[in-house]
Amino acid sequence: MFKSRVLLTSTALVCGLAAAAPAFAQNDQEDVIRVDGRYLSLDQLNAVKTPTPIIDVPQSLSIVSEVQIAEQGFANLGDILRYTPGLSISQGEGHRDAINIRGNQATGDFFLNGIRDDVQYYRPLYNLEQVEILRGSNALLFGRGGGGGVINRVTKSPVSGEDFTQASVSLDTFGAYQVTGDTNAVLTGTTAVRLNAFVEEMANHRDAFDGSRYGINPTLTTELGNETTLTLFYEYLNDDRVVDRGVPSVAYAGVPNRPLTGFDDFFFGSPEENNTTLEAHTFRARVEHEFTDQLRGNVTVQYADYDKAYQNLYAAGIDTSSTPNRVTLDGYRDTTTRSNLIVQGNLVGEFQTGIFSHTFLVGGEYGDQETANARWDNVFAANNDDRIEIDVTDPLSIPDFSFSAPARDRQSEVSFASLYVQDQIDVTDTFKVVLGARLDRFDVSVLDLRAVSATDDGRRGRVDEEISPRFGLIYKPAENVSVYASYSETFLPSAGDQFLTLSTTTEDIRPQVFENREIGAKWDVNDRLSFTAALFRLERGQFTTVDPDDASIVTTVAGSTTEGFELQLIGELLDGWTINAGYSWLDGEVEGGGSDGNVTRQTPEHMLSVWNRYQVNDRLALALGATYQDSFFVLEDNSVEVPDYLRFDAAVYYDLSDTTRIQLNVENLTDEDYFPDAHSNSNISTGEPTNARLTLHHRF
């Protein structure tokens, strides 16, 4: 059998499981230490921060292991989240990750090893042990934002007592390729280092898309004594790619507008001028100390520096009634530099008071963030305007233009301090209570340089102090079954998740508050199959939305409510047959204003995904998957609807030897013509046609 570490990380799962590592409740405390995916534990730097079996976590969550990432051939977070219930993907203007969780869109609800990672960019997967998707508002563990949930990436750690090197090479139908390397070396009996790196050349079905990116991530772990461990982490990322914002929408009589069809490959932009670049450095030091068998803690210090730029032309509208068709072009250039300093500490204790057992968490976080952002509108020489209408030719004949009209020039400083406490109380063997709260002080100061005048110094600021509670009840009629009810809150300051929308109007608006009520059940059918279900209601208070085509237009919305439920089945159904299946039903509704009663943006009512893997013999395995996404409205105005789609994927794995595997992943088997995501009413992505990726894994 193939024994690459890529395929053996989750040691407690069935060999070759292509699903996300499920939560199989166990009493064996060694599982907390082993990196086997069973616990979201303090030892693994994962998001829950306490050594809690997932069956005892009172909220809906999913874990996608490196096994599933490798076997399904996932290339980015969007690929992962399309196989996760309750989530849909937003286009992100072709330059960043953007998600919709339970009807709430966000660009800043991302974490790396439990520390906030909120800059707008595409996050790679080359160095990940697993991805954790936690649904439901929960500021107690994460702080501001995360109205619908959060995404936490967990990177690979050095392994003591073992030297290994492994690599993979992949090539797809479009000519895109990726090379990754992962090596681990034991330096001494107490020190190990791990180095992950990748290089990628991008291509897809679009006429003018290309790009390249690479990254390197060394991590060192050393024991400073029997009870103390130090981990040092550094990552460098470089990304340079074409910005592609898809196709516009067109009008249809009696129904909402729909995406333009027949232009799946057509590029509505400038191949030379549509591009984005990123350079990112992340440094982290973490000290973990075990005071006693019942008390341990950690302190993490992270500094990150980002330099990001993107510029683009895109279709702002199209007239299909004329011959030839006429398209309206718009565009801008946007630059962002940001530095983040975050310090986080946690102390976890397990103790007894009378008949009650406690797992107690107390922690604090301090952050200091500086951002500079500027934007320039494009100006066409022919009309000295930022918009122009031209004939649709293939390729477009774009008139001369430049990015020369200042539209935004802002600097922001953010500092925040948090204190949080949580107690999980085992009242009896079958009944548990989770109680906790977090106090956040959030101070944002924005200097709007374009607003400076004789009567305005351009400075805007606001200080907010918010208490966010968390409450959960867990009933376990059997060791392998839990039923829970929970209530949690979070908040988002009026400056938004990127802190650049603060104005003389929004600085007087209190933070928007999210309240999540949820009931659910988790059942470990056996030691290799897990089923979960959740029913929730998420209420969002007053919030502001920015027009995707004009950042100066900010609209205040009274609120929204999303109700829904989620189902997940993960594990081995029969000998050799594993499954990862998820379903979600979402009903999102906007409250107040001109959109009252409309559906929340980019919230498909039904989403279904399933991935089956069958081990034919010791060397050969086959897989078949499907994703279904219901139709959705792009924005709260509900004027443009993106149709539903059903896509089938497949894979074949063959072990050439104990150290070498070859695999073929085929996406969109039936060549479905579909639109997977959108950013605005005039920027809608087109799905890739049938394509294949061949990958070779080898362990040296």
Question: Mean pLDDT, to the nearest integer, of 534-550?
Answer: 78
Residue type for 143, please? G
Question: Mean pLDDT, to the nearest integer, of 482-509?
Answer: 79
46 in Cβ contact with 132 (< 8 Å) = yes
| Residue 138, helix vs strand vs coil | coil
The structural domain count of the chain equals 1
Euclidean distance between CA atoms 291 and 289, whole angstroms: 6
Backbone angles phi, psi at 471, to 5 degrees: -145, 135
Backbone angles phi, psi at 657, to 5 degrees: -160, -175
How high is the pLDDT of residue 503? 63
- What is the per-residue pLDDT across 657-700, written as a single tens digit (0 to 9) for each? 999 999 999 999 999 999 999 999 999 999 999 999 999 999 99
How high is the pLDDT of residue 498? 73
Question: Mean pLDDT, to the nearest integer, of 210-232?
Answer: 96
Mean per-residue pLDDT over the chain, rounded: 89
Tokens coding 244:
């592609």
Cα distances from 92 to residues 106, 205, 665, in angstroms, run 10, 18, 26
Query: pLDDT band at 59, cuts 50/70/90?
Result: very high
pLDDT at 191 over 80: yes
The DSSP bridge partners found for residue 550 are: 547
- What is the per-residue pLDDT across 132-166, written as a single tens digit (0 to 9) for each? 999 998 888 888 888 999 999 999 999 998 999 99
Question: Mean pLDDT, to the nearest integer, of 347-364?
Answer: 94
How high is the pLDDT of residue 107? 85
Euclidean distance between CA atoms 292 and 309, whole angstroms: 48
- What is the per-residue pLDDT across 578-630, written as a single tens digit (0 to 9) for each? 999 999 999 999 987 778 889 999 999 999 999 999 999 999 999 999 999 99
625 in Cβ contact with 84 (< 8 Å) = no
Give the CATH number of the domain where residue 486 resides: 2.40.170.20
R_g (Cα) of the chain, nearest Å: 25
What's the 3-state SS for 299-311?
EEEEEEEEEEEEE
Query: pLDDT band at 49, cuts 50/70/90?
Result: confident
Question: Mean pLDDT, to the nearest integer, of 268-273?
Answer: 95
Quick one: which of 163, 158, 153, 193 has its CA closest to 65? 153
Quick one: which of 268, 122, 272, 106 has its CA closest to 198? 122
Cα distances from 681 to residues 91, 129, 684, in angstroms, run 12, 37, 7
Query: pLDDT band at 52, cuts 50/70/90?
Result: confident
For tokens 């990862």, what's the residue? 580
Euclidean distance between CA atoms 220 and 236, whole angstroms: 15
- What is the per-residue pLDDT across 85-130, written as a single tens digit (0 to 9) for each? 989 999 999 999 999 999 888 888 999 999 999 999 999 999 999 9
How high is the pLDDT of residue 303? 97
Quick one: which of 227, 269, 226 has its CA closest to 246? 269
Query: pLDDT band at 42, cuts 50/70/90?
Result: very low
How high is the pLDDT of residue 14? 30
| Angle, vertex CA 133, rays to CA 130 and CA 135, nearest 5 | 165
Question: Mean pLDDT, to the nearest integer, of 636-650?
Answer: 96
Does the pTM surpass 0.75? The reply is yes
The DSSP bridge partners found for residue 375 are: 334, 408
Question: Mean pLDDT, to the nearest integer, of 467-493?
Answer: 95
pLDDT at 37 over 70: no
| Residue 517 DSSP code | E
475 in Cβ contact with 484 (< 8 Å) = yes
CA–chain centroid gap for 44, Å, is 19
How high is the pLDDT of residue 548? 58
pLDDT at 551 over 60: no
694 in Cβ contact with 171 (< 8 Å) = yes
Euclidean distance between CA atoms 488 and 465, whole angstroms: 17
For tokens 């996932």, what's the residue? 74
The residue ranking higher by pLDDT, 138 or 219, is 219
Q: How far apart are the first and last CA of the chain?
A: 15
pLDDT at 501 over 80: no
Question: Mean pLDDT, to the nearest integer, of 337-355?
Answer: 95
Other CB atoms within 10 Å distance of the CB of residue 462: 19
423 in Cβ contact with 358 (< 8 Å) = yes
Residue 29 makes CB contacts below 8 A (sequence gap 6+) with none
Tokens coding 62:
């999913």
Cα distances from 17 to residues 79, 435, 614, in angstroms, run 18, 35, 9
What are the E-state strand segments in 381-426? Answer: 388-391, 401-426
What percentage of the chain has pLDDT greater than the value 90? 78
Other CB atoms within 10 Å distance of the CB of residue 389: 14
Question: Mean pLDDT, to the nearest integer, of 300-312?
Answer: 97
Question: Mean pLDDT, to the nearest integer, of 626-640?
Answer: 95
pLDDT at 508 over 80: no
How high is the pLDDT of residue 509? 76
Residue 539 belongs to domain spanning: 5-699
275 in Cβ contact with 242 (< 8 Å) = yes
Cα distances from 677 to residues 68, 532, 605, 647, in angstroms, run 23, 27, 14, 14
For tokens 């897989």, what's the residue? 623
How high is the pLDDT of residue 545? 64
Residue type for 602, please? Q
Alpha helices in 16-76 (DSSP H): 66-71
CA–chain centroid gap for 251, Å, is 33
How high is the pLDDT of residue 215? 98
How high is the pLDDT of residue 681? 94
Q: Which of 94-108, 224-238, 381-395 has the lowest mean pLDDT?
A: 94-108
Backbone angles phi, psi at 600, to 5 degrees: -60, 155
For tokens 């300051």, what's the residue? 493
578 in Cβ contact with 16 (< 8 Å) = yes
